Amino acid sequence: MARNPVTWLGTPAFPVAAKKALTDTQLRRNLRKATTTIRGKRSLAVGELPDWEDLRRAGEAVKNEVLSNLDSYLERLERSVTARGGIVHWARDAAEANEIVLRLTKAAGADEVVKVKSMATAEIGLNEALEAGGVTAIETDLAELIVQLGKDRPSHILVPAIHRNRSEIKEIFRREMPDAPATLSDEPRELAEAARAHLRRKFLTAKVAVSGANFAVADTGSVVVVESEGNGRMCLTLPQTLITVMGIEKLVPSWRDLEVFFQLLPRSSTAERMNPYTSVWTGVTPGDGPQEFHLVLLDNGRTATLADEVGRAALRCIRCSACLNVCPVYERTGGGAYGSVYPGPIGAILTPQLMGNLQDKQTASLPFASSLCGACFDACPVRIDIPKILVHLRGKVVSAKGKRGPEAIAMSALAWVMRDPKRFAAAQRAGSLGRFVAKGGRIGRLPWPGSKWTDSRDLPVPPAESFRAWWRRTRG
């Protein structure tokens, strides 16, 4: 089976990538400003709803129902889409999905496609696969366009160019956009107008559009995309052929269930009461919109994730990015350090499961990219207990190393020390000497093997007197 391209080849393990990111002061300023602004606005939007916690529990319940009966809901969706003139394709992995999209694009006589922002197509590396097949993919979301033109990688689920400021964007447009005005400034209005003029020509000539999906309704076969700019609406209505690549977990049973997510998603993502553009289509309508609709249902590690009773909760994710905006780790390192299409807390639990390889050094480092503060769980609109899954995956990573792993060796040594009262007392006395190498109440560096710990975190100064010594001194 083809390698799952959800991670970026050549990206180092998280601690190495994070250390480099922390030296980029401009990146940290950009991230701090953006995440702080989004957090504040989201808090106000959520605070307007007195039943917010009830909505979260309702969203959790709907998603759990879908995951518990995913096979029957997928079959129902296929019947509904087919009955309304659409064609359903099943893709086991990235290679199959990319082959299907490329084949359909070629059959439509197109060498260029316009794209709606989609995490699923980024997950499978669709743009690169299309390019290798002679087809150019044009990102139409403004932030995705910035990333594409800058030959960059997205740093955020919702705002892929969150790590760029407007001066950097101006330089990218001037350098990479042939029709950008020579006098283009860094004013947001001018930047948006330049992108609009550039993309309008692409919309009017495109034969094929590719989209992802926020939701699909099993009862009716309807597919839903929500967005803020209107570029998605152009892609979903103008071309003759529409190809949607959708993760198999994006289902909801009925239209009534959408009511819950239409309240949860905009407030958690863009801090809006409702999405500016909500596009829904059901199969093919003669004379209106695309006359050929293909739905590619993507597995790519999802059924394997579903088999894990703890880890499967990650499949409830609705890609709102709320967990990124509250994460103290993400705010300081940005998305690039995660080496994955899915950054932040959700990426730390979703990527290793989709990859299915916890022996890969980069993938195995992601569950440790967290302080376990729990802010992500509090923010998640579908109540994914991310800290619980992180600890669960950490256990899997350690188990995969076997008895020769550093954690297993450390625990064996600790067990040997603690089995004997004299050895334990001697270890306590030796540990108290650590206060002599401390600075400012913390131990920042220890020799190997202690350096494996202090490379990424400090140790508190041990007390001068252990409890055992205090008891002996005060109680005889």
> Which domains occur in the chain, in start order?
14-302 (3.40.50.10420), 406-475 (no CATH)
Provide the percentage of residues in the chain whose pLDDT is more than 70.
99
Question: In this model, does residue 338 exceed pLDDT 50?
Answer: yes
Contact residues for 400 (Cβ-Cβ < 8 A; gap 6+): 358, 359, 364
Which string of DSSP letters, residue by residue, matches 135-182? Answer: -EEEE-SHHHHHHHHTT-----SS-TTTT--HHHHHHHHHHH-TTS-T
Task: Please state the length of the chain.
Answer: 476
CA distance 130 to 136: 7
- Which of 217, 225, 229 is CA-nearest to residue 258? 217
For the CA atoms of the chain, what is the radius of gyration?
A: 25
What is the residue type of 97? A
The answer to whether the CB of 303 falls within 8 A of the CB of 251 is no
Indicate the residue type of 47. Answer: G
Give the pLDDT band (50/70/90) at residue 276. Answer: very high
Q: pLDDT per residue over 32-83, tens digit each?
A: 999 999 999 999 999 999 999 999 999 999 999 999 999 999 999 999 999 9
The angle that helices 421-432 and 467-475 make with each other, rounded to 10 degrees, is: 100
**How confident is the model at residue 216, as a pLDDT?**
98
For the chain, first and last CA: distance in Å? 68
| Per-residue model confidence (pLDDT) at position 2 | 46
C-alpha 361/C-alpha 13 separation (Å) is 6
pLDDT band at 1 (very low <50, low <70, confident <90, very high): very low
Residue in 41, 65, 31, 30 with CA at minimum distance from that of residue 266: 41
Give the rounded percent of residues in the chain with a pLDDT score beyond 90: 76
Alpha carbon distance 160, 466 (integer Å): 50
Paired tokens of 8: 């970026």
Nearest residue to 402 (alpha-carbon basis) of 366, 359, 365: 359
User: 239-251, pLDDT tens digit by residue?
Assistant: 999 999 999 999 9
H-run or E-run covering 442:
strand 442-443
Q: Is the pLDDT of residue 436 over 80?
A: no
Contacts 24+ apart (CB under 8 A), 64-70: 64/316, 65/253, 66/249, 66/251, 66/252, 66/253, 67/249, 67/306, 67/312, 67/315, 67/316, 70/248, 70/249, 70/251, 70/306
470 class by beta-carbon count within 10 Å (0-12 exposed, 13-18 middle, 19+ buried)? exposed
Q: Specify the higher pLDDT residue, 456 or 105.
A: 105
- The span from the CA of 344 to the CA of 331, in Å, is 9
Q: How confident is the model at residue 273 (pLDDT cuts 50, 70, 90)?
A: very high
Q: Per-residue pLDDT averaged across 261-273, rounded?
A: 95
> Contact 232/199 with Cβ under 8 angstroms?
no
CB distance 354 to 313 below 8 Å: no
Does the structure show a pLDDT above 70 at 3?
no
The Cα–Cα gap between 239 and 205 comes to 8
- The Cα–Cα gap between 401 and 96 comes to 31
**Share in percent of the chain as helix, strand, coil (round to 5):** 55, 10, 35
- Tell me the per-residue pLDDT of 345-388, one tens digit each, with 9 for 90 and over: 999 999 999 998 888 899 999 999 999 999 999 999 999 999 99
Q: Which residues pair with 347 in a beta bridge?
A: none
> What pLDDT sits at residue 373?
96
Rounded average pLDDT over 210-222: 98
CA pair distance 143, 163, nearest whole angstrom: 10
For 92, counting Cβ atoms within 10 Å of its Cβ (0-12 exposed, 13-18 middle, 19+ buried), the class is middle
What confidence category does residue 22 fall into, taking pLDDT thresholds of 50, 70 and 90? very high
**Alpha-carbon distance 10 to 12, whole Å?**
6
Instruction: Tell me the C-alpha distance between 76 and 65, whole Å.
Output: 14
Alpha-carbon distance 339 to 168, whole Å? 22
Question: Do 211 and 118 touch, CB atoms closer than 8 A?
Answer: yes
Residue type for position 137: A
DSSP state for residue 224 in the 8-state scheme: E
Q: Can you tell me the distance from the alpha carbon of 104 to that of 292, in angstroms, rounded to the nearest whole number?
A: 10
Rounded to whole angstroms, the Cα distance separating 97 from 199 reads 26
Integer Cα distance of 371 and 361 in angstroms: 19
